[in-house]
Amino acid sequence: MAGQTTPGTSLQKQQQEEMTEGWDVLWDPPLEPKYECPICLMGLREPVQTNCGHRFCRYCILKSIRDAGARCPVDNSPLTEEQIFPDNFAKREILALRVKCSNKGCKEKMELIGLDNHLSTCNFAFVRCPLECGDTFWRKDIPEHLDNDCPRRLVKCEHCFKEIPFDQQESHMEECPNVVRPCEFCQQQLTNEQMARHVENECPRALVLCIFSAVGCNVEKMERRNLSEHLQEFTQVHLRLLLNALQTLKDSRFTHRPGNHSDPLSLPARMQDVTYEHRHNLPLTHEQQQMLVLPPGHMAVATPVSPLPIGSELPQGGDGIAKLSHSLQQLVMPNRPFQPRLGETTWSSAEDYLEPVTCASPYPGVMTSPFTAAAAAGGAHAYAHLEGSSGYRTGDPSSVGTSSRDMDSGNPRSEDSSMADARTLRTKVHNQEAKIVEQQHYIRELELKLGSLQQKYFELDERTKERMCNGTFIWRIKEYSKLRQQAVKGEATVRHSSGFYTSYYGYKLCVRVNLNGVDSAHGTHISLFIHFMMGENDDILEWPFQGKITLSIVDQNSNPAQQPKHITETLVAKPSYAAFQRPTTLRNHKGFGYMEFALLRSLENGQYIKNDTLIIKCMVQPQ
């Protein structure tokens, strides 16, 4: 229901309030001292009261107890977190006080409890463009920006009437399906929707690859109108490439099948494999069986075949591969003397077709069929060309005996020996993996030790920097724009530097900055103060502090021809002020400095803020 919050939301809000310092707003009239936190010097936020009667912001006193010790920062009496109680009466009084809107140009006044609601709707609040173009405007100027100036405002395409961001019009024109543009090859006027199909299938001047590039034709791209001339001129080359591709495919499909002991490199054996597969796996037509297997007693007659036209569908299965391979061999390979291969059937002359002579096979029990004669007659020339260097082809019987002896003298490893080798290798792999894991654990331990040493080094380096600055401290405030916006919104109005010493045994101080000003300088100036801190040498130093302190905002202009114009102010310590007394808390809650140190608009011209970094310099000269 309206006005209710879930427990998770309440807890999140409470945690956010606990982590925030006091109210840094424009009080009207000025804030009474009884409502001021002694630690942050701002209006009490979530006020609490101690058992010794002092009021603090909840966040400030908890941080003081945890950082400086369990004592009250005002009277130094013992104080624990259990001795702190919410002061709801003071909280109601503070939320009822009148404040002014912090946005420049707005003159609204309201109670503090209604400030957040006002800031969320204030017309003079700076807000980012809701379309995330990156610009920031007064809230009252956002509608005009969205209508006329925002680069991400939606506009309609005049071709397809689709709404697109204003800054994406050019890229949309490249993709809009209705935009007409000329073809980059033939200059024909087409829409984007038609262009891809035109270039891919129709344009006569588009560059295309040869349709035989998949099988090895490496001719560079040509215009589509020249493709037919190229196909006519290189017909024989294309057929050779296609034959090689088909033969490779057939080799990968029909070699080393279980139960087949034929020579894996022999053409007749491969052709027998084709027959084997079709008899067992694929249904064959009568004509296919007549082509693949000749009946006993019939001679092999080479029938003329015609090559497949380019672009026709290739036959499927092993029978198609055999037919196409046989046709291509007759077209491509020249006639030359045929030499028999081991296990193949040949004839002593052209008239002896009915009297086959079989070469000796090195594999006993393997019989050659009449089919091998037809296969050898149709494809021996192709295999003589493709496998001439394999070592199996021979013309004299001595090589057959040599091959047989090589096969007989082989001493293959037994299965038990192979398993033993596999187990040994597996053991070695496991041992190596165990060593790798051990090394990883050792590396992890070293990384942890290195991280610890780095942390100690950073701490020592920080302490060294605090001690060895000799009273000159440089504070680089990075991400200035982000921190400035946080200060404008009231999220984090105060920033404190790290502590530094005037000398090795000197005073310890820090610098405080209000990036959006404070009190009368709110929204117009940057405010700078110094705060003394509890140091290790306070008991041997003279108090109150006496001397000079110089605060500067450094001019970062890198032009050597221009004289640097640092914004500098020097203050002289006043011993009667509480800011220069010996600190009784971690950081003296009273500071001393300048509310109107520098105009904000003079800082943001690029001369004092470079790479989104503001540099503040503090020089302390004790008397």
Q: For 222-271, write each residue's pLDDT tens digit.
A: 999 898 889 888 888 888 888 888 888 877 765 545 444 444 444 444 44
pLDDT at residue 49 greater than cutoff 90 = yes
Residue 334: partners with Cβ closer than 8 Å, 6 or more residues away: 381
Largest distance between two CA atoms of the chain = 135
What's residue 354's pLDDT? 37
What's residue 381's pLDDT? 41
Q: How far is CA 299 from the centre of its chain?
A: 71
Is pLDDT larger for residue 518 or for residue 384?
518
Is residue 547 a contact partner of residue 541, using CB atoms and an 8 Å limit?
Answer: no
pLDDT winner (highest mean) among 15-24, 186-195, 315-324, 399-408:
186-195
What's residue 466's pLDDT? 66
The band of 415, judged by pLDDT with boundaries at 50, 70 and 90, is low
What's residue 580's pLDDT? 94
Of 92-106, 265-279, 478-492, 559-573, give the lowest mean pLDDT range.
Answer: 265-279
What's residue 250's pLDDT? 76
Domains of the chain: 26-121 (3.30.40.10), 469-622 (2.60.210.10)
pLDDT at residue 140 greater than cutoff 70 = yes
Is residue 127 a contact partner of residue 136, using CB atoms and an 8 Å limit?
Answer: yes
Single pTM value for the model:
0.34
pLDDT at residue 575 greater than cutoff 80 = yes
Cα-Cα-Cα-Cα dihedral sign, residues 141, 144, 149, 152: positive
Neighbours of 505 (CB within 10 A): 12
Q: Please state, rounded to an integer, the average pLDDT across all residues of the chain.
A: 75
Is pLDDT larger for residue 412 or for residue 282?
412
On the CB side of 611, how many CA atoms lie within 13 Å of its CA?
7
Average pLDDT rounded to a whole number, residues 310-317 = 43
DSSP 57: E
Report residue 208 as tokens: 């295309």
Per-residue pLDDT of 499-536, as tens digits, reads 999 988 899 999 999 999 988 888 899 999 999 999 98
Residue percentage of the chain with pLDDT more than 70: 70
Is residue 166 a contact partner of residue 178, using CB atoms and an 8 Å limit?
Answer: no
Q: Using CA atoms, how far apart are residues 397 and 378, in angstroms rounded to an integer?
A: 24
pLDDT at residue 440 greater than cutoff 80 = yes
Nearest CA to 513 out of 551, 557, 466, 471 is that of 551
Q: Is 88 exposed, middle or buried (0-12, 13-18, 19+ CB in 10 A)?
A: exposed
What's residue 322's pLDDT? 57
Neighbours of 226 (CB within 10 A): 12
Average pLDDT rounded to a whole number, residues 206-228 = 89
Which residue type, as a one-letter code, is found at position 131? L
Of 46-50, 197-201, 324-328, 602-606, give the lowest mean pLDDT range.
Answer: 324-328
Q: Is 536 exposed, middle or buried (0-12, 13-18, 19+ CB in 10 A)?
A: exposed
The band of 133, judged by pLDDT with boundaries at 50, 70 and 90, is confident
Per-residue pLDDT of 88-120, as tens digits, reads 999 999 999 999 998 888 989 999 999 989 988
Helix, strand, coil: what percent of the chain each, to 5? 40, 20, 40
What's residue 413's pLDDT? 52
What's residue 21's pLDDT? 84
Which residue type, as a one-letter code, is found at position 550? T
Is residue 81 a contact partner of residue 71, using CB atoms and an 8 Å limit?
Answer: no
Q: Read out DSSP for 579-598?
A: GGSPPSSSB-S--EEEEEEE
Q: Using CA atoms, how far apart are residues 346 and 332, in angstroms rounded to an integer?
A: 22
Residue percentage of the chain with pLDDT more than 90: 27
pLDDT at residue 57 greater than cutoff 90 = yes
Is pLDDT larger for residue 339 or for residue 154?
154
What's residue 432's pLDDT? 87
Average pLDDT rounded to a whole number, residues 412-432 = 78
What's residue 321's pLDDT? 55
Average pLDDT rounded to a whole number, residues 580-608 = 89
